[in-house]
Copies of this chain bind each other. A is one copy, B any other.
C-alpha cells in the first residue's frame, strides 16, 4: 500500500504527459524496462529514492517498478520537484513525498518518511538520504543491501565516510560511470545550466563575459556551451592542471578576485563552499548575474550577499535583485540553488537516459552480487558501463567499428616495434 504527500494530486494528467514526453526521449531505459518487465530482477525489493522529482526520474521509477520493486521517493532538493510529476507518480501507486518549495524541516521529514519504508536499496542524489541513514537510523542502515549515488558531491561525501570507516553498506558510485560522468555532468549540465540562466534572465550571451568557477566536467560543459552561444568565458580554478587545460582550450584563467571586476555572469560549478563571497561581490559590476550549478547552495555565499545589501526584491521569476549600498545591483538566480533545475527543467531526458540506465542496471547488479560486496564505495561495473553505451548508440541508430582478431592481438603484444 502506498501513501503520498504532493502539492496537488489533480496535476496528475499534466504530469503523465510530461513523463510520457521524457519516456519518448529515454530509449535506453525503455529497453531496460521491457526486459525488467519479463525478468523481474527486483521482485519484492523495497527501494528508497532521494532524487530530483522530475519527469526523467519518473521514468527511472517506472523502470524499477517494472522490475518488481516497491518504491518510496522523496526529493533531493527543496526547490527542484516538478509538482505535476509528483502527482502522476502518486497516482501510479508510488509512495512519493515531495513538492516544490519545501522548508528544510519538510525536506528532512520527507527523507525520514522514505526511510520508514525500510528500503533495502537506496538511490541517492547528493547523499542526504544515505548520511541521514547513517546518522539517525543506523539499525536500518545495516539492513540495506546497497546504495547508489548520482552526484560528484555525494561521491565525495561517501568516500570521506569510507575513509573514516563509518560506511554501513556498499555503495556504487553511479556518478563515476563513464556513461554518466562524461555525459550527464558535461553535456547535460552544460546545456541546462546555460538554459537556466537564459530562461531566468533572457539576456543575450553573445558579447557577454561569463565567469565559470571550476573546470571539472560540469564547469567545462558550461564553459563550452557559454562560448558556443557567443560569450567570452573566463575560468577560475584551484587545480593547476585543470587551469592549464582551460587555458589551452582558449579561455582566460585568472583568480576570481580579478574576474569579479569584469564578469557579466558568474556560474559556480566547484562542489566547494563560499566560492563567491563578500570580497568578490563587492568588486562586481552593476547588473552582474550570479548562478550556481553545483549541488548545494553554498557556492555563492548568500549570507554575505544579504549582509552587503540594503534591499532585496524579486524582479522576475527566479531572479532576486540585491541592491548594494552604493546603488549597484546584483542578481541572484534561483536563490543560489542548482540553476538548471530551479530555473529550467534540469538535464534533458536524452542524457538522464544514460545516468538512470546505470542506476537501474546497478540495482539489478547489487541484488545479484550482494554476497560479494563489502562496505565500500564501488565503481560501476565495466559491463554495466559498456552495456549502457552500446544501448545508447543502438537506440540512436549509430554503428561503430569492431576490432579484428588480429588487431586485438596486436594491442596485447609488446614485441612488435618499428
Contacts and interface: CB of A to CB of B under 8 A. Distances in A.
- Copies of this protein in the assembly total 4
A248 B240 CA distance: 27
A255 B401 contact: yes
Interface stretch (A113-121, A138-146, A302-310, A383-391): A383-391
Contacts of A182: 241, 245
A274 to B, nearest CB: 7
A392 B230 contact: no
B401 A256 contact: yes
Nearest to A27: B287
Nearest to A390: B240
Contacts of A348: 202-204
A178 B417 contact: no
Contacts of A325: none
Nearest to A287: B24
Q: 6 tightest CB-CB pairs across the interface, nearest first?
A: A228-B228, A240-B389, A204-B348, A157-B414, A204-B350, A160-B414
A158 B398 CA distance: 34
The size bracket of the interface on A is 35 or more
A255 B21 CA distance: 30
Given A21-B315, A414-B131, A206 B248 contact: yes
A372 interface: no
A232 interface: yes
A190 B248 CA distance: 12
B126 A418 contact: yes
A271 B396 CA distance: 27
A385 to B, nearest CB: 7
A282 B121 CA distance: 46
A197 to B, nearest CB: 11
Contacts of A228: 225, 227-230
B160 A187 contact: no
A406 interface: yes
